[in-house]
Structures are given as C-alpha cells and as structure tokens.
Amino acid sequence: MTSLDVGAYTASSPDLPRSSSHMSVERLYPFAGDHAIQSAVVVAEWAELGGSKPLSSDILQNLERDAKPQLTKLGLTHHEQLNVLEVKMGAGQQTSHASSALGGFKSASRSTMGSDERRSVVLARENCIIQINDYTRWADAVRDIREYLNVLLPSIGQFAPIRHLTLQFNDVFLWKAPSEELNMTEVFRTGTVWLPKHVFGLTNLWHSHHGYFADKSEPCQFQQLDNVNVSRAVVDGLHSIQALVAHRASLAQPIWVREPLSEDDDILKILGQFHTDNKRILADLFSNEVLRSINLNAS
C-alpha cells in the first residue's frame, strides 16, 4: 500500500499516552512485510434486482472459449469450469428435474509450489470477481485489474450492463508474542469513529462491524456502501488484527461496456476513489506506529 500524500489527511483523534516505553506493536507484523494486504478483491455485477441471471450456460461457454487464451497470456494459466445444479418444475407438476449446467469458469495463477493461488478471475452468471493475493501496490494492481476486465467486460456488454462495483481490501497483522500483551490502545486510535470504546478493554477475541451509505456524483451518480469490519481473531494459531473494508457502488445509470476500458474510464475512476477512501479509513483507524509499519502516513 502506498503512502498518503502529506497534507492529504489529518488525524482527528490523538492516541492515549503509552504506559510503557516498549511499544507492543513492534511485535505486530504486517501480513506481507511492508504492507498488510492479504487480498484485494474487485467485483463487477450485472444481475438485476430480483436475481435475474442474464448469462446463460451457452453464453458462458462462448465467453470461456474466447477468454481462456487471453487470460492465459496474462499469466492465469490454470482453468476450471464451475457448474451449478438447476432444478426445473413445470406448472402443476409434483416432481422436479435436476441437472448440472455450466455456471461459470475460473482462471488463476498459482505459486511455484502449485497449491496457493496468487490471483484469480471468476466469471459467473451474475458477476465477475477478481482476487489478488500477491498485492504489492495499487498502481500495479489496477493496471492488471484493467487488463482482466478488458478481456471480459466488452463481451459481457453484449448482454448486460454493469450495475454494481465493489472493491474490498483485507488487511491482516500477525501478533508474535503472548496474547495477553497485545494492547488495543497501541494498535488503534482510541478516538477513532470506526470502533466502539468497548473493544479497548477486551483482552480476548472480538469483531466490530460498521456500515453506512453515501451519495456520490463523481465521476457519475451512484450510492456508495462502505462496510468496515475489524476483528481480533486467530490465524494459524496466532492472534491477529484484521481490517476488512469493502466499498460498493450501486450505479444510478448502469454502464454498458462494449469497448476496452480506457485509463480514465468511469469504472476505473470509481475503483480509484474506493482505494483513496480505504486509505482514509485505515489512517483514522490505526495508531501512527501501526501506520508506519505499512508505510501509510496520517499527517
């Protein structure tokens, strides 16, 4: 994750004075070393309210045939089909007929060990999901996201427009010391609006969720839903701090994508705004010491 520009954000709530000269957060390690992002996920949705599924199995089969070689060239060399179970029952019938049908496909790149997925693209009847597990910085991620979307969206645009966009980051910090020494007042800003004060007195596991809507007019009109999930959890036997923040845009006017996305396309602009919003939330959530560990500065 890149640092915020100086002056771009002003921390509104100072941390409480530390009770010890040794900061416990020195033993709180960002998941990826110099940043904490375990995964970044982008979702483009076209299904209408009510659950309609405009992409039939035949359409998905043609999309898979055309997209597979292009995604392979982009490094997504492992492919698999995703099947769904369809149940059909005619009017007045007492028995139903179930059959398996193509529900989408997945293309992924894997680690050198061959088991862990570095990133993946899933095309289903209702949406397209891009997951990046080897995140380094936003400029690189959004470039690759654009390439993946340009393989799929112009073809999908023949059948359905984009109605919703989501960008989600999952930040994880691993605590490598006795769990009772993990001090929440050193991890978070005690005056942050994103957590109830109750969590600062807890020494065990907890989860906090906050969601809210905002109306946006740039680069187009949409309603934005921000979900902020913060947890103290256990990962592989270690206590951890997790911040899963998701931003979802419900477009006032659906976007028909029939040409490859340009760098200043509204879809990419919305994703860029989401990335900025995510940094702002993290800067108001975590203490300065934690922010420094991921090169995110609140000044």
61-109 per-position pLDDT tens digit: 999 999 999 999 999 999 999 987 666 666 666 666 666 788 999 999 9
Is the model's pLDDT at 21 over the cut of 70? no
Write the pLDDT tens digit of every residue in 230-256: 999 998 899 999 999 999 999 999 999
Domain spans of the chain, in order of start: 1-55+131-299, 56-125
Is the model's pLDDT at 186 over the cut of 70? yes
Other CB atoms within 10 A of residue 255 CB: 19
Q: Which residue has the higher pLDDT, 67 or 51?
A: 67
pTM: 0.87
How many residues are recorded in the chain?
299
C-alpha angle with apex 66: 266 to 40, nearest 5 degrees? 45
Query: Which residues fall within 8 angstroms of residue 180, CB to CB, at 6 or more apart?
Result: 203
Listed residue (54, 225, 41) closest to 126, CA to CA:
54
| Residue 2: per-residue pLDDT | 38
Joined tokens for residue 36? 């904490």
List alpha helices for the chain, DSSP H. Answer: 57-73, 138-156, 184-187, 266-285, 288-293
Joined tokens for residue 29? 């390690």
Q: What percent of the chain has pLDDT over 90?
A: 78
Q: Which residue has the higher pLDDT, 125 or 52?
A: 125
Beta strands 78-88 and 222-235 are unpaired
The neighbouring-strand residues paired with 128 are: 44, 123
Listed residue (187, 191, 181) closest to 292, CA to CA:
187
| Residue 97: per-residue pLDDT | 61
Write the pLDDT tens digit of every residue in 252-290: 999 999 999 999 999 999 999 999 999 999 999 999 999
Residue 198 one-letter amino acid: H
| Residue 167: per-residue pLDDT | 98
Is the model's pLDDT at 18 over the cut of 50? no
